[in-house]
Amino acid sequence: MPKAAIYREYGDSSVLTIADVPMPEPGPGMVRVRVEYAAVNPVDSKMRSGVLGDGSPLAAPAIAGMDVAGVVDAVGEHVDGLRPGDRVAGLSPSGAAAEYVVTYAAALVQVPEHVSSLVAATIGVGGSTAVRALGLAEVTKGQLILVDGAAGGVGTFLTQLARARGVQVVGTASRHNHAHLTTLGATPIEYGSGAEWERAALEAAAGGLYDAAFDLVTGGKYDVFRRITTPDAPVVTLVDPEVPARGGILVTGLEPSFDHALQEVMDAIADGELDVPIAEVFPLAEIAAAQDLSAEGHVRGKLVLAVAAP
């Protein structure tokens, strides 16, 4: 039987165990993937702890993670464009940290020959969220945007994808990440929210106003963003549920079909327009340590689990 990182109840990382699970079978529109790598995201810890749930106990053991890369092992009915042996990457919402997973074909894209599976495994949550946020803000070439949390998991994708679209980016990060942001093509400034920070943000905008602002990490800064953006500029957040009631945009959940967003990210990687730094690779058995490190929120680059199903 294949192995997977599972949890039977909500809690801290100690609830994670490596266990034998039944071999999953792909239904209509689905494929089975022999997993090589599964990336770790902060949302994984939130799901495992029950923060994102409705308080109900788990009905069955859950497999951790969502970001996956590997090789198609079997296909279900009504699947076009993918066949056994294809290298793929994307999202497995029912779990990714397993030797074999089943997911919808529409949640995967093919991996070009010159892109490693290690890098490809990172694109799911962060890449698709970044593309969705840019799309909701209708960001276009020549605009100037502010990305609060530009060196984080989503911010690294969003910053580079925006630059690839011909957008100017000012990004916030801690000082030790400023050089990193510069390599991504952004103008770095410190985190903050007070009057001094507003002045720094406006100075970075060369005295103008931003065409859009993206709140990826903190929340509670809508009024600040409104003061430094143009009157009709979209303010997009991943973390502040009060923003929509005030005229902003909250990015929640995942789209039913991810392939268009994932394809943009994969194309950018293949074309050399997007670089995904890998912070550390853990064996599957050390998933608890990887999730704990991810949850701290101070990692520059992606954390990845090496699965390599036999």
Per-residue pLDDT tens digits for 118-149 = 999 999 999 999 999 999 999 999 999 999 99
The CATH number of domain 127-250, selected from 3.30.70.360, 3.40.50.620, 3.90.180.10, 3.30.56.10: 3.90.180.10
Q: CATH for 3-122+276-306?
A: 3.90.180.10
The CA distance from 242 to 244, in Å, is 6
- Examine the pLDDT at 258 and tell me if it is beyond 90: no
What pLDDT band is residue 13 in, cutting at 50, 70 and 90? very high
8 A C-beta contact, residue 225 and residue 217: no
Where exactly does CATH 3.90.180.10 map onto the chain? 3-122+276-306, 127-250
pLDDT, one tens digit per residue, over 29-79 is: 999 999 999 999 999 999 999 987 777 888 899 999 999 999 999 999 999
- Examine the pLDDT at 257 and tell me if it is beyond 90: no
The CA distance from 296 to 168, in Å, is 29
pLDDT, one tens digit per residue, over 204-230 is: 999 899 999 999 988 889 999 999 999
pLDDT, one tens digit per residue, over 261-273 is: 899 999 999 999 9
Question: What's the pLDDT at 54?
Answer: 73
